[in-house]
Amino acid sequence: MSQPRQLDSALYALLHKEDIASFNLQRPASGTVDMLKGDFRGLDLRELNAEGIDFTDAYFRSADLRGIDFRTSSLEGASISHAQISGAYFPPELSADEILMSVNFGTRLRYRTR
């Protein structure tokens, strides 16, 4: 299993400082934002514009993700153990059971195949 890591990126530094407003202003208007394997434990990420962000294998233990729209984000392999997810949107490929297992037991999110 991959381990979460601190990323060497100015955008990641803004998220890690919980400066969500600055992140949203400085992120690219289009394309993918690479946050692959990032460590977001315990961060308050409310108000994050998560459109097109690649959170593959990211770690969100105890993070505040309330109200975030992850529908166009990649969350494959991410863990949302004990995260606050009220009002968050998730990609339609993720089942409610998969999300619940990750919140309650820390399992990595796996997309269901059609």
Domain of 56, CATH number, reads: 2.160.20
Residue 3 lies in a domain: yes
- Per residue of the chain (114 residues), what is the pLDDT tens digit? 567 788 999 999 999 999 999 999 999 988 899 999 999 999 999 999 999 999 999 999 999 999 999 999 999 999 999 999 999 999 999 999 999 999 999 999 998 765
Number of domains comprising the chain: 1
Is the residue at 112 inside a domain?
no
- Give the domain range for residue 89: 1-106
Q: Considering the domain boundaries, does residue 79 fall inside one?
A: yes
- Domain assignment of residue 111, yes or no: no
pTM of the model: 0.92
Instruction: Using DSSP bridges, classify how beta strands 53-54 and 33-34 pair: parallel, antiparallel or unpaired.
Output: parallel
DSSP designation for 61 = T
Q: Is residue 38 part of a domain?
A: yes
* 11, part of any domain: yes
Residue 51 lies in a domain: yes
pLDDT at 101: 97
In a domain, 114, yes or no: no
Give the number of other CB atoms < 10 A from CB of residue 28. Answer: 9
